[in-house]
Structure 1
Amino acid sequence: MRRTLSAVLLLLALAGAGCAQNRIVYAQSGVQVQPPQYPSYQGSYTNGAIPSAWLPLYQRLRADGLDGPDLPALFASMGTPSQDPMGRKIKELYTKAFAPKPKPTPPSSKPTTPARPKPLVYPGVITAENVEKCRAFLEANKPAFDYAERTFGVPRQISVSLLFVETRLGTFLGKEKAFYTLASMASSRRPEAISTYVAQLPGSTAADRQSWIQQRMEQRSDWAYKELVALLKNIRSSGEDALAMPGSIYGAIGLCQFMPTNISHYGADGNGDGVVNLFTVPDAVASLANYLAQHGWNKAATRAQKQKVIKTYNRIDIYANTILGLAEAQGYVAE
């Protein structure tokens, strides 16, 4: 039986009474989640049985010192692991490694018309309407952008443009549940865990291909486990509802779409409440500005150098071009 985790993430024993005062706002829905106040954990929170598929991951977290009264209830509330996160990734890697390469077109049959050039920016992003949305967002959240720009030196137009490209200013935070996604991926270490996907891969029954799949799954599982640990720690410090938290298909969270391990390195408390909650504008803006600053953002840098810094966030030219272009449409001068 699925249960909301709002009744079990009672972290007063772990994070102090101040946690109960932290109000979480998911920008996607506008729903406010107030961590309930209880004097202590009670045994009733662990009544549900943990599905057997979760037990190895649950025991690994306990062995690594991450046990807590919330942990059994969390795993008892998630049903069974999904094949999708690991399955999608392995399918992507497998196709890249083993799919037949297209044959070059013979010179005599090449088209006479030139190929259409690839767009330099994401279509439909740098528009007058979106520029006005960014300006309105800046005005509505002026203290947050004032603080981030003053503290980290990243212009507000860059910060708001990054938020727009990542989550449309917090209106689209992902369709998945971050904790469930990462837990599913971390628990998927053998091909049988994603049997539906493996069956669709040509030649996957060969012994060498099975070994290849196994190795890649273990690598991605270990990566997901590190992200899951970081997310669990952040959840416990902020009092968020782990089962309700939205995320990307691979577990990025918040308005600025950080992977959880980035929170400890670059997360910044923009509103002074003592926690980093990337679902609030002040913390998301401060955190992304801190990230860019630590990756070399410099006011005196050239446009090309600033583009290179933005590409540390997402290593695609069109991504950085779009953010710089949207910022420039708001009046920012890159050089």
Structure 2
Amino acid sequence: MHFKGLFTQFSQRRVVWTFSLLILGLVLGLLATLFHPAIKPVKVLANDPLLKPYVEDLKNRVKNDLKGKVPEDYIEEVFSSPELAYLPNLMIKRLTWKETKLPYHQFLENQRIERARNFLQENLTFLEELEKIFGVDKEVIVGIFLVETNLGQNTGKFPVFNVFFSLTLSGNKDLLKNFVYDENLSLDDERNSNIIAKRSNWAYNELLYFLTICYQNKWDPFSIRGSIFGAFGYPQFVPKSYVIYGYDWDGDGKVDLFKMEDALASIANYLKKEGYNLNGTLEQKKSVIMKYNISEPYANTVLAIAEKLKKTDQEVSSQTEQKEQENKDEPKNR
């Protein structure tokens, strides 16, 4: 009994100590989250005193470059919106982005290929018409649709205007450095400096396109959501691509990339305008798909999906023919 009592007391104390250490760990973790400099802000409102001069300069620059295209009061309204926010992590994410590390293999899983095959069969007449008119393999169109947005299920959660606004502002390294806490990430590194300058200039031009599109279509600029780098809709077009390659399939006078018909016709139109040839070699097709997304793993994945879809179609046709032949050969009951 004496030893049992000692053992019970020891066990109870161990439980208390374990629980106390757990609570202490949680408290320290919370304090680290609150005060550790490696925790980066996700969003900064545009009226933040640090941002104000940068936002004002950008707004005036936009007004000047869109003079005669978009009214100044419209631009003023957009830049005064409480929804306008700076997302510094977008440029930081771009500096560490590794396209080759993306999990493209997931799109070749049987379940996704089966969904793509079902989609192709359900929309076969429409897709065959696209193939005929644009000269683009219907399976490639579906492959891009699958990889870009998982057949329309994942179109992005970032306000497109804020994406281009943020990437543009991040071209000011004096501003961006306030939000970089990784000691191993230098904004003055030649590679990073080049990426920042190039991406910022690109984003500014896309911002101009996007504002113009929103004004013309009477869109709320903050209601359109897309990827972390500003691509939106089922085909994940950036604004310039929307202007150049967007296709009004249903003839309602507007290109709506969140409508399947307009979206898939726009994908086909993009590939056609960039030189896609239905009878071209695999390498020729790959080179055009890489214009859609400058990534070899991306292009290889799209072509692999298309090949699987074609094989599936051939297998289905073969099975159908075999079944019909068996029915013909089967002796009739007398």
Aligned counterpart, 1:163: 145
Aligned to 1:331, what secondary structure does the other structure show?
helix
CA–CA distance in structure 1, aligned partners of residues 64 and 181 of structure 2? 34
Evaluate the alpha carbon distance shift between residue 323 and residue 196 of structure 1 in structure 2; reply closer, same or farther with a 3 A threshold.
same
- Which structure exhibits the higher relative contact order, with contacts defined as CA atoms closer than 8 Å and separated by 6 or more residues? 1
Q: Deviations 1:166-192 (Å, cap 9, x if unpaired)?
A: 110111112311111101111233223
Aligned counterpart, 1:76: 80
Aligned counterpart, 1:299: 278
Evaluate the alpha carbon distance shift between residue 328 and residue 232 of structure 1 in structure 2; reply closer, same or farther with a 3 A threshold.
same
Q: Following TM superposition, by how much is the alpha carbon of 1:229 offset from its aligned partner in structure 2, in angstroms?
A: 0.9
For the 8 Å contact 1:186–1:221, the answer to whether it is kept is yes
CA–CA distance in structure 2, aligned partners of residues 326 and 212 of structure 1? 34
**Are 1:314 and 2:293 an aligned pair?**
yes
Aligned counterpart, 1:92: 96
Aligned counterpart, 1:99: none
CA–CA distance in structure 2, aligned partners of residues 62 and 143 of structure 1? 46
Evaluate the alpha carbon distance shift between residue 326 and residue 54 of structure 1 in structure 2; reply closer, same or farther with a 3 A threshold.
same
Aligned to 2:277, what secondary structure does the other structure show?
coil
Evaluate the alpha carbon distance shift between residue 68 and residue 274 of structure 1 in structure 2; reply closer, same or farther with a 3 A threshold.
farther
Which structure 2 segments of 5+ residues have no match? 1-45, 313-334
Aligned-partner residue type, residue 234 of structure 2: L
Aligned-partner residue type, residue 276 of structure 2: W
Q: Following TM superposition, by how much is the alpha carbon of 1:204 offset from its aligned partner in structure 2, in angstroms?
A: 4.1
For the 8 Å contact 1:83–1:193, the answer to whether it is kept is no
CA–CA distance in structure 2, aligned partners of residues 82 and 144 of structure 1? 40
CA–CA distance in structure 2, aligned partners of residues 122 and 203 of structure 1? 27
Evaluate the alpha carbon distance shift between residue 247 and residue 128 of structure 1 in structure 2; reply closer, same or farther with a 3 A threshold.
same
For the 8 Å contact 2:105–2:301, the answer to whether it is kept is no
Aligned-partner residue type, residue 60 of structure 2: Q
Aligned counterpart, 1:57: 58
CA–CA distance in structure 1, aligned partners of residues 79 and 244 of structure 2? 27
Aligned length: 257
For the 8 Å contact 2:161–2:221, the answer to whether it is kept is yes
Q: Following TM superposition, by how much is the alpha carbon of 1:146 offset from its aligned partner in structure 2, in angstroms?
A: 4.4
2:169 to 187, 190, 193: 187
Aligned counterpart, 1:249: 228
Aligned to 1:269, what secondary structure does the other structure show?
coil
Aligned to 1:244, what secondary structure does the other structure show?
coil
TM-score (norm 1): 0.67
Identity %: 32
Larger radius of gyration: 2
Q: Following TM superposition, by how much is the alpha carbon of 1:122 offset from its aligned partner in structure 2, in angstroms?
A: 3.0
For the 8 Å contact 2:108–2:305, the answer to whether it is kept is yes
Evaluate the alpha carbon distance shift between residue 212 and residue 161 of structure 1 in structure 2; reply closer, same or farther with a 3 A threshold.
closer
For the 8 Å contact 2:85–2:162, the answer to whether it is kept is no
Evaluate the alpha carbon distance shift between residue 134 and residue 240 of structure 1 in structure 2; reply closer, same or farther with a 3 A threshold.
farther
Aligned to 1:253, what secondary structure does the other structure show?
coil
Aligned counterpart, 2:5: none
Aligned counterpart, 2:219: 240
Evaluate the alpha carbon distance shift between residue 318 and residue 80 of structure 1 in structure 2; reply closer, same or farther with a 3 A threshold.
closer
For the 8 Å contact 2:257–2:263, the answer to whether it is kept is yes
CA–CA distance in structure 2, aligned partners of residues 124 and 198 of structure 1? 32
CA–CA distance in structure 1, aligned partners of residues 84 and 244 of structure 2? 32
Aligned counterpart, 1:103: none
For the 8 Å contact 2:249–2:261, the answer to whether it is kept is yes
Aligned to 2:219, what secondary structure does the other structure show?
coil
Q: Following TM superposition, by how much is the alpha carbon of 1:142 offset from its aligned partner in structure 2, in angstroms?
A: 5.0
TM-score (norm 2): 0.67
Aligned counterpart, 1:276: 255
Question: If each structure's helix is expressed as a fraction of its own residues, which one has the higher value?
Answer: 2
For the 8 Å contact 1:256–1:278, the answer to whether it is kept is yes
**Are 1:149 and 2:151 an aligned pair?**
no
For the 8 Å contact 1:85–1:184, the answer to whether it is kept is yes
CA–CA distance in structure 2, aligned partners of residues 288 and 247 of structure 1? 17
CA–CA distance in structure 2, aligned partners of residues 298 and 214 of structure 1? 38
Structure 1 runs of 4+ with >6 Å offset:
210-215
CA RMSD of aligned residues (A): 3.1
Aligned to 1:312, what secondary structure does the other structure show?
helix
Evaluate the alpha carbon distance shift between residue 236 and residue 277 of structure 1 in structure 2; reply closer, same or farther with a 3 A threshold.
farther
